[in-house]
Amino acid sequence: MIRESLQPRKDWQQQFEDLGFSYHSIDGLYWDERYAYRFNAQQIDVLEQATIDLHQMCLQAVDHVVRHGQIEKFAVPRSFWSEVEESWRDKEFSLYGRFDLSWNGSGAPKMLEYNADTPTGLVESSVAQWYWLQDVHPNADQFNSLHEKLIEQWKKFDGKGVIHFASADSEEDIGNLSYLRDTAIQAGFATKQNLISDIGWDEANAELVDANDTKIENLFKLYPWEWLSREQFANHLLSRPARIIEPAWKMILSNKAILPVLWEMFPNHPNLLPAFAESWRISGNFVKKPLLSREGENISIYADGEVMHTPGEYGDEGYIYQAFAPQPKFDDGITPAYTSIGSWIVGDEAAGIGIREDETLITKNTSRFVPHYFVE
């Protein structure tokens, strides 16, 4: 795993805007092709297998939580406990997720967390870095089958009628949502797109409706379940008025309380880090994580007598404690970076990686996205 310095392509911004990747320079610098990461084929095999293994362990962990009545540990509203259980037992359709891994190219990749409900970074991981590869390394390969696998996974969805796609009013969220909608269209579905704030409840007909009062039969929501389950109309969802993707059982996997469950079930697994609900059970350096934290908020690293902390709005829901596995640092003397690998799962298959860089050990929403390629 080598970080290379490169000359950015001319007019790459226009290419990406034509592809719908309009937020390429959000916060000043997001997509960063001054660098690229080079892997060999054996390293890609390691990442692919680790992702498949982690996904299968996570599915077993969900089953364990449901069978042993442990949902209360996950800060899920009590009214939704039975919905989560029923969703799992019904094997409700799931589209995708993203593991965040710490790895320097040797040894075993370590799972930091699983973004299983509303992971973003799709456009850049799938389309943008593939176009970059064709221009910069046309004879190389890339761990990237996201587009094809998303289309094939949509074809397994047995919902009838239109799929509504909804997100918050954010340029990045809307960009990811539009891309996912496009993959559903390519799989043969009729679709509509709107903001989550446009969704309402028709009391007379007991149904979810969009801004045009059209019934919503299937809803893909790029909007966290922990927010959705606390909306004013949340209790209406318990009657299952629509098929919702991602399903309610993802409330277990998208929650960091799954990390201690995984460690309890698979102790000393090479892709897992020790994780517990109590800090005293951790020996050595560790990270304190809120159950529902997003974009690196309210994370505290306790390492070598020092503490690093990020602000945010999380923590009231509780914390877990995970052994510290620092992301590798790459430093060319110009732009040093701590690197996090996001490894995608679509259905039950590994589907590629996206790499983010941050100036600190905590990957935040201000991190940069850097493309990758591999050679035999």
Burial pattern 238-271, b for ≥16 Cβ within 10 A else e, equals eeebbbbbbbbbbbbbbbbbbbbbbbeebeeeeb
Residues 157-173: what's their mean pLDDT? 95
CA atoms of 210 and 43, how far apart (whole Å):
46
| 202 strand-pairing partners | 207
The tens digit of pLDDT for each residue in 280-295 reads: 999 899 999 999 998 8
Picking from 102, 101, 125, 98, the residue whose alpha carbon sits closest to that of residue 114 is 98
Q: What is the mean pLDDT of residues 209-235?
A: 94
The predicted-structure confidence for 99-115, as pLDDT tens digits, reads as follows 999 999 999 999 999 99
Q: What would the mean pLDDT of 181-209 be, rounded to a whole number?
A: 96
What residues contact 184, with CB distance under 8 A and at least 6 apart? 154, 163, 165, 191, 220
Instruction: State the pLDDT at residue 172.
Output: 94
- Residue 110 is predicted with a pLDDT of 98
Q: Where exactly are the structural domains of the chain?
A: 2-255+329-375
Each residue's pLDDT tens digit, 266-284? 999 999 999 999 999 998 9
For residue range 51-71, list pLDDT tens digits in order.
Answer: 999 999 999 999 999 999 999
Q: Mean pLDDT across the stretch 166-177? A: 95
The enclosing H or E element of 133 equals helix 129-136
Report how far residue 322's alpha carbon sits from residue 318's, in angstroms, rounded to the nearest whole number: 14
Per-residue confidence (pLDDT) for residue 366, from 0 to 100: 81
Q: What three-state secondary structure class fits 321?
A: strand
pLDDT at 365 over 90: no
